Chains A and B, each alone.
Chain A
Amino acid sequence: MAKTETLNRRQLLTALLGCQVAGSVGCSTLRLPPAGELQHTRFDIGHLVRDGVAAELDFSAHEQVGVTIVGGGIAGLAAAWRLKRAGFDDFVLAELESKPGGTARGGSRNGVRFPWGAHYVPVPMAENESLIQLLTEMRVIESVADDGSPVVAEEFLCREPEERVYSDGSWHEGLYPGHGASEEDLKQLNAFRMEMDRWADMRDASGRRMFAIPMAMGSDDEVVRQLDQMSMKDWMNDQGWDSPRLHWLVDYSCRDDYGLPPERVSAWAGVFYFAARIVRSGMGSQEVITWPEGNGRIVNYLHDSVQENVRTGVGVFAVAGSQEAGPCRVAALDAKTGKQVGFRSEQVLFAAPQMMAKHVIEGFSESGRDVSGFQYGSWLVANVHVQDRPVDEGFPMAWDNVIRESRSLGYVTATHQLGVDHGPTVLTWYYPFADVEATITRKQMLQLGWADWAEVVLADLRLAHPGIDDLVSRIDIMCWGHAMIQPSPGFVWGPERRAAAEPLGAVHFAGTDLSGVALLEEAFFHGVRAAEEILAVRGIVDRPVDLTRKD
């Protein structure tokens, strides 16, 4: 490999893991697990669309269908589910990948289920009615208390022990590295928590929470909009907080939820992460709902309920005539056959990332819309199959296992929620390219092979589990090129984001990027909202259909 074109292993490891780690593995003999594969999203087709080299449009053999949903991530699936619940069935959902779900997908191998991306949902608060409706249908929520707060079945609430952190040579309970913390560290941690409680309790003139999930239900008051003008790092410094442990906690949280370090995250998003999950002061963060396959459980439920309307392996590359009278013309490529397919629809529900919109929707840029502010971060997710649990110093294996001195986010244990504490399992390891994009471009990442990435994963895990190599039987790796919308300062409350959610002619938009933060709840909210817009346009009076599976 020519050095000018690609990075060598040492450079790669240094860029991803830092000098210390790379130095420790760079000279050791390369030892890789016996099996595994590297998967990518269908960036090949995506890039064809972007580069405008798609096949010449042929709208002759189009199917007639009332609504076309473009994209089968949570937003598209939620929209489909919402249409179906209203008794409206005249739609198709076109998804480029062979499986729906986007970054919420899960997988399974040898009877073990594991996530490929998003893996939990905090228990929704009373105001998130549609999500409560969904989780009730799924029998995850058993009942609703008098105050409207949902009661979640025990088996879906994350089982204790929930989190542990590897710090100073052993594992400790919880996420905050409290081991060895000074009095000042703890004082600042407490001050930080009280500040988040304060934001959770605060209401604006209309009585809205300052931070709510979905964020559209929170306040747009000047107080919160000001936060968006600075980075989380600067905001922390403004508060006078300099505790390295507190900064680590916030750094971890920002990379975990947004794939960015605090210096590049809007302080609005940084505070939102904490404050939106607190019902009121003193109650702590909402508990989290999780499944062995992560949010893949929700994907599968939604998919099952609209299965006959979903076309997978179908990549939409053009939407024409959306601003004219008459139906929109949707052109797509069937990835399996390589043939062009298409739909004529009165409405299109565009539930793909905004970065695709200008390449796909005819007249998008001409309409004056600008979505160049929508920037997406990349992620690497690895499913590491182990024959047995590593023998650890300190606190036992938890659901979420974080290594303090690493730039990865650590791993979640796939069998944790099943109550299986012994024997083989799968560790789902997460790595956001939070601060490496300057040194490694997406293009360079695409040139790296399975062996390169497997070595990165193992080098990171060895920090906390020196003997992990002997236990690993397989590593499967997923490279998410455009995994997450980045809530950089100014983006969340900037004009572009809010304009992007407005319909463009017959095209209605959904997607978590419209909220500026990547969350299942936001994607779900926008999917439901866009579906309701279409129902309203079509004059369909909502006849809720009970989709609860009768089993």
Chain B
Amino acid sequence: MLAVATCGLIYELIAGTLASYLLGDSVTQFSLVIGVYLSALGVGAWFSQYLHQGLARTFIEVELALALVGGLSAPLLFVSFAFVQWFQLVLFGSVFVIGTLVGLELPLLMRILKEHLDFSDLVSRVLTFDYIGALLASLLFPILLVPYLGLMRTSLVFGVMNALVGLWGTYLLRPLLTNRGLSGLRGRAFLVVGVLVIGIIKADALTTWTEEIILGKSVVHARQTRFQRILVTNDRRGFQLYLNGHLQFNSTDEYRYHEALVHPVMLAAQQPKRILVLGGGDGLAVREILKHDSVETVTLVDIDPGMTEIATQFPLLRELNEQSLTHEKVTVVNTDAFVWVGKQHEPFDAVVIDFPDPGSYSVGKLYTTFFYRRLRQIMKPDALVSIQCTSPLVAGQSYWCILRTMEESGFHVRPYCTSVPTFGVWGFALAGLRAGIDVPPDLTRIEQELSYLNEEMISSLFELPRDIYPVETEVNQLNNQVLVRYYDEEWRGKD
């Protein structure tokens, strides 16, 4: 009885969670799933009036059907997300079927039991179990089931439980069942249990298979924000963050990228106090910045509150960025940097730009002369800026376009690059308003905290190999956005 009640809610929670994971926007997904589920309960209850004969048998059949549909719901949803366009139809369809079956359960059970109990006792017992079962489910689900079993297995395990209830029912309700077809019923129950057990054994393989289809890696966290789709995946070596399907970092080698992005500008700016970070909502650049004692304040501007939320709340990432975004020196501002820079007055000592690559016009505007000129307005005369500027090896035109654009905006620019295994050769630039930018290779204060840079490396970052020598490009302006076109041409098919 308790098991029956628990199973019902578990299926609903699985559907809600899966929908939030895969589609994002958990409030909407949960609300829709609960609504569809509850209304389907009503449909099931309504249907129950048309069932007159063989109530016990019907009840067992319903249990078995529920075991099969509910138990397989998570695998079904995962697979359909990977393969079909109309995922929502599958989602709400399965929630509706489960709800209808669960809705049939209680009325049937009450009618079966009404011969054995008086009415008030019956209503009291059935509803008590139902509600307590719901509590049990809602506690088990987040505390034990999802962390230890995962969604896929939880779904299958509860399917088995459902099927066992059905099987047990064939014995318990034996007096109410006719002999005809009894063995067939039991046989079906065993079959369902068998299918689900195979599912449990193969759950990992199935998960891996579907996720590999989706990404080639397993998804640890996914959410769709107003601005982008954020995906965290992992494999045996580490975990990865994707924005709109573009890899942002891999935990195994991100330190190379972030040390190269941050420390040259911090050294060259000579004990900078007020630091501005544009983009970089993962908090990894800020982690590097905080290694410098001179820093008094860090202002991080990232458009997406969803991103900075993950950086502060998602355990894997929070650990990786050493909780940088909740550090007392750090202020997080969630707004479009393009608009934000135009409204600031207090100038900064150093700026780190860690925007996504210029793959769209709405990001491309952040690489224009207009934006860089606005940025100049909020930099002190001696201030310096470092910027990530895609791969000069893959996208030379794009790389040199960014530098050329900064020069056109009045910056003196020094190109540099390093190698990040996940990305390949990666390009950066160090720029300032005065000529002769010097990076003193003095790491004495922070040496202990570095995993990549040493003093010899600092100067070698700025030595460009032949294959990434400058090329002629146009200047990227708001009204031409040539960079987005270069980028699109150079990266097409290579990402």
A binding-site residues for B, Cβ under 8 Å: 154-155, 157-162, 287, 388, 396, 418-423
Bound-state Cα–Cα, A159 to B339, Å: 14
A157 and B370 CA atoms in complex are apart in Å by 11
Which of B226, B364, B477 meets A422, CB within 8 Å? B226
* Contact between B226 and A155, CB atoms less than 8 A apart: no
Interface pair B336/A420, CB less than 8 Å apart: yes
Contact A419 B478 (CB under 8 A): yes
Q: A419-B339, A421-B362, A422-B336 are in contact. Are A155 and B370 (CB under 8 A)?
A: yes
Say yes or no: B361 contacts A161, CB within 8 Å.
yes
* A157 touching B479 in the complex, CB below 8 Å, given contacts A388-B226, A420-B336, A422-B303: yes
Shortest C-beta distance, A283 to chain B (Å), equals 14
The verdict on B452 contacting chain A, using a C-beta distance below 8 Å, is no
B478 neighbours in A (Cβ, 8 Å): 154-155, 157, 159-160, 419
Q: Which residues of B contact A162 (CB under 8 A)?
A: 479
Kindly name the residue among A155, A158, A287 whose own CB sees the greatest number of chain B CB atoms within 10 A. Answer: A155
With a cutoff of 8 Å between Cβ atoms, the chain B residues found around residue A287 in the complex are 479
Q: Can you name the residue of chain A whose Cβ is closest to the Cβ of B369?
A: A154
The reply on B360 being an interface residue by CB < 8 A is yes
Closest chain A residue to B361, Cβ basis: A161
With a cutoff of 8 Å between Cβ atoms, the chain B residues found around residue A421 in the complex are 336, 361-362, 365
In contact, B360 and A158 (Cβ under 8 angstroms): no
| Contact call A396/B370, Cβ cutoff below 8 A | no
15 A-B interface contacts by CB (under 8 A): A154-B370, A154-B373, A154-B478, A154-B479, A155-B478, A159-B478, A159-B481, A160-B481, A419-B338, A419-B339, A419-B478, A420-B339, A422-B303, A422-B336, A422-B362
List residues 357-408 of chain B with CB under 8 A from any CB of chain A.
Answer: 360-362, 364-365, 368-370, 373
- Cα–Cα distance between A363 and B69 once the two chains are bound (Å): 89
B229 to chain A, nearest CB (A): 12
The 10 A-B pairs with the shortest beta carbon distances in the complex, nearest first, are A157-B479, A160-B481, A421-B362, A159-B478, A419-B338, A154-B370, A419-B365, A161-B361, A154-B477, A154-B478
Query: A420-B336, A422-B226 are known contacts. Are A396 and B481 too (CB-CB below 8 A)?
Result: no
| Sample of 19 further A-B pairs with CB below 8 A, known A154-B479, A420-B338 | A154-B370, A154-B373, A154-B477, A154-B478, A155-B370, A157-B479, A158-B479, A159-B478, A160-B364, A160-B479, A160-B480, A160-B481, A388-B226, A419-B336, A419-B338, A419-B478, A420-B336, A420-B339, A421-B362
Answer yes or no: B491 CB below 8 A from chain A CBs.
no
Q: Indicate whether A396 sits within 8 Å of B362 (C-beta atoms), given known contacts A154-B368, A155-B370, A418-B339.
A: yes
Contacts of B368 in A (CB 8 A): 154
Q: Is B131 an interface residue (CB 8 A)?
A: no
Query: Is the C-beta of B227 less than 8 angstroms from some C-beta in chain A?
Result: yes
Residues of B within 8 A of A418 (CB): 339
Q: Which residue of chain A has its CB nearest to the CB of B363?
A: A421
Expressed in whole angstroms, the Cα–Cα distance for A313 and B479 within the complex equals: 39
Of all chain B residues, the one with the shortest Cβ separation from A287 is: B479
- Distance in angstroms between the alpha carbons of A155 and B480 in the assembled complex: 12
Task: Check B338 against A159 for contact (C-beta < 8 Å).
Answer: no
Complex-state Cα separation, A24 to B488, whole angstroms? 38
In the complex, chain B residues 414-468 whose Cβ is within 8 Å of any chain A Cβ: none
Q: How far is the CA of A155 from the CA of B477 in the complex (A)?
A: 9
Closest residue on chain A to residue B409 by CB atoms: A154
Q: Within the complex, what minimum Cβ distance (angstroms) separates A123 from chain B?
A: 10
Interface residues of A, dominant DSSP: loop
Bound Cα distance A493, B368 (Å): 45
CA distance A366 to B50 in the complex (A): 92
Q: How far, in Å, is B110 (CB) from chain A's closest CB? A: 41
Tell me the minimal C-beta distance from B83 to chain A in angstroms: 21
Asked whether, in the complex, the Cβ of B339 is within 8 Å of the Cβ of A160, the reply is no
Q: Report the bound CA distance from A159 to B373 in whole Å.
A: 16
Residue of B nearest to A395 (CB): B361
Chain B residues whose C-beta falls within 8 Å of the C-beta of A422 in the assembled complex = 226-227, 303, 336, 362
Chain A hits for B362, CB < 8 A: 396, 421-422
Chain A nearest CB from B488 CB (Å) reads 11
* In the complex, residue of chain A having the shortest beta-carbon distance to the beta carbon of B366: A419
Report A395 CB to chain B, min CB distance, Å: 9
Q: Residue on A with the closest CB to B374?
A: A155
Contact B360 A396 (CB under 8 A): yes
Q: A154: which B residues are within 8 A, CB to CB?
A: 368-370, 373, 477-479
| A158 cross-chain contacts in B, Cβ below 8 A | 479
Q: In the complex, A162→B484 CA distance in Å?
A: 14
Cα of A396 to Cα of B484 in the assembled complex, Å: 13
* Alpha-carbon gap, A549 to B480, bound state (A): 30
Closest to B368 in A: A154
Contacts of B479 in A (CB 8 A): 154, 157-160, 162, 287
Taking CB as reference atom, which chain B residue is nearest A155?
B370
Chain A residue contacts of B339, Cβ below 8 A: 418-420
Contacts of B480 in A (CB 8 A): 160
Candidate in B365, B370, B478, B481 with the most chain A CB atoms within 10 angstroms: B478
Task: Name the CB-closest residue of A to B364.
Answer: A160
Give the Cβ gap from A150 to chain B, nearest Cβ, in Å. Answer: 14
**With A and B bound together, what is the CA distance between A421 and B227 in angstroms?**
10
Distance in Å: Cβ of A361 to nearest Cβ of chain B: 44
| A152 → chain B closest CB, angstroms | 9
Distance, CA A57 to CA B364, complexed state (A): 62
A388–B227 alpha-carbon span in the complex (Å):
11
| Distance A154 CA – B409 CA, assembled complex (angstroms) | 11
Contacts of B365 in A (CB 8 A): 159, 419, 421
Q: How far is the CA of A388 from the CA of B478 in the complex (A)?
A: 23
Assess the A160–B226 pair: CB atoms within 8 A.
Answer: no
Q: Closest chain B residue to A418 by CB distance?
A: B339
B179 to chain A, nearest CB (A): 57
B292-344 contacts to A, CB under 8 A, are 303, 336, 338-339
Tell whether, in the assembled complex, residue A160 and residue B361 are in contact, meaning their CB atoms are under 8 Å apart: yes
CB contacts (< 8 Å) of B364 on chain A: these are 160
CB-CB nearest in chain A for B360: A396
For A160, list chain B residues within 8 Å (CB): 361, 364, 478-481, 484
Chain B residue at minimal CB-CB distance from A388: B226
Report the Cα distance A423→B477, complex, angstroms.
23
- For A155, the chain B residues whose CB sits under 8 A away are 370, 478
Of the listed residues A157, A159, A388, A420, the one surrounded by the most CB atoms of chain B closer than 10 A to its CB is A159
* CB-nearest residue of chain B to A288: B479
Inter-chain CA distance A418–B369, complex, in Å, is 15
Q: CA–CA, A120 to B480, complex, Å?
A: 17
Q: How distant is the Cα of A422 from the Cα of B365 in the complex, in angstroms?
A: 13
CA distance A359 to B481 in the complex (A): 52
- B32, chain A: closest CB distance, angstroms: 15
Q: Which residues of A contact B477 (CB under 8 A)?
A: 154, 157
CA distance A122 to B36 in the complex (A): 54
Nearest B-chain residue to A159, judged by Cβ: B478
**B481 surroundings in chain A (CB, below 8 A):** 159-161
* Chain B residues in 8 Å Cβ range of A388: 226
* Distance A49 CA – B480 CA, assembled complex (angstroms): 49
In the complex, A318→B480 CA distance in Å? 51
Q: How far is the CB of B287 from chain A (nearest CB, A)?
A: 27
Q: Which residues of A contact B360 (CB under 8 A)?
A: 396
Nearest chain-B residue to A423 (Cβ)?
Answer: B226
Give the nearest-CB partner of A421 in chain B: B362
Question: Which of A159, A160, A418, A423 counts the most chain B CB atoms within 10 A?
Answer: A160
- Chain B residues lying within 8 Å of A157, measured Cβ to Cβ, are 477-479
Q: Give the residue among B339, B361, B479 with the most A Cβ atoms within 10 A.
A: B479
In the bound complex, how far is the Cα of B227 from the Cα of A287, in angstroms?
30
Query: B184-208: which residues lie under 8 A (CB-CB) from chain A?
Result: none
- Complex Cα–Cα for A311 and B361 (A): 44
A421 to B478, CA, bound (A): 13
Q: Distance in Å from the Cβ of A512 to the closest Cβ of chain B?
A: 26
Question: Could you tell me the distance between the alpha carbons of A47 and B360 in the complex, rounded to whole angstroms?
Answer: 51
Closest Cβ neighbor of A162 among chain B residues:
B479
How far is it, in angstroms, between the C-alpha of A313 and the C-alpha of B364 when the chains are bound? 46
Q: How far is the CA of A162 from the CA of B480 in the complex (A)?
A: 9
Contact string against A for B residues 215-254, beta-carbon threshold 8 Å, 1 for contact and 0 otherwise: 0000000000011000000000000000000000000000
How far, in Å, is A389 (CB) from chain B's closest CB? 9
